[in-house]
């Protein structure tokens, strides 16, 4: 029994179909508050060519811009977090989560280590 998700199955089928035609599929995610949408496909194509050694141009490309896809912290956010962490320590409160030190999975994993160390220090 195949336990892969329908999305995984569709992606695999698409990859196999493209491979039979001598093509490959890639998804490139680009982000940043100052992202210039002009030439973003060309820039992403160049990066893929450089990193993967690919050649040629995309058969299809689309740009989807999510205004609030990933948290963009305001200038001074880190200083505010430092102040909040310091204030919380006096009451044995630890701040954890994407609101404080980063929205990515890697940020949350690193944050978990800090939280555990803080609680152990009590």
CA atoms within a 13 Å half-sphere pointing along the CA-CB vector of 8: 4
pTM, to two decimals: 0.43
Q: What stretch of H or E contains 9?
A: helix 6-20
Provide the residue ranges of all domains of the chain, joining segments of one domain with +: 1-69, 77-120
Band (87; pLDDT cuts 50, 70, 90): very high
What confidence tens digit (pLDDT) does each residue in 36-53 have? 666 788 888 888 888 888
Please check the confidence at residue 34 and state whether its pLDDT lies above 60: no
């Amino acid at each position: 029994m195949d336990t892969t998700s329908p999305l995984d199955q569709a992606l695999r089928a698409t990859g196999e179909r493209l491979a039979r035609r001598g093509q490959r599929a890639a998804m490139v995610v680009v982000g940043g508050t100052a992202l210039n949408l002009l030439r973003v496909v060309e820039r992403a194509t160049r990066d893929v060519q450089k990193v993967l050694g690919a050649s040629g141009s995309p058969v299809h490309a689309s740009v989807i811009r999510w205004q609030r896809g990933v948290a963009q912290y305001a200038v001074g956010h880190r200083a505010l977090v430092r102040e909040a962490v310091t204030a919380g320590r006096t009451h044995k409160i630890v701040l954890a989560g994407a609101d404080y030190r980063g929205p990515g999975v890697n940020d949350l994993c690193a944050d978990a280590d800090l939280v555990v160390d803080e609680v152990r220090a009590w």
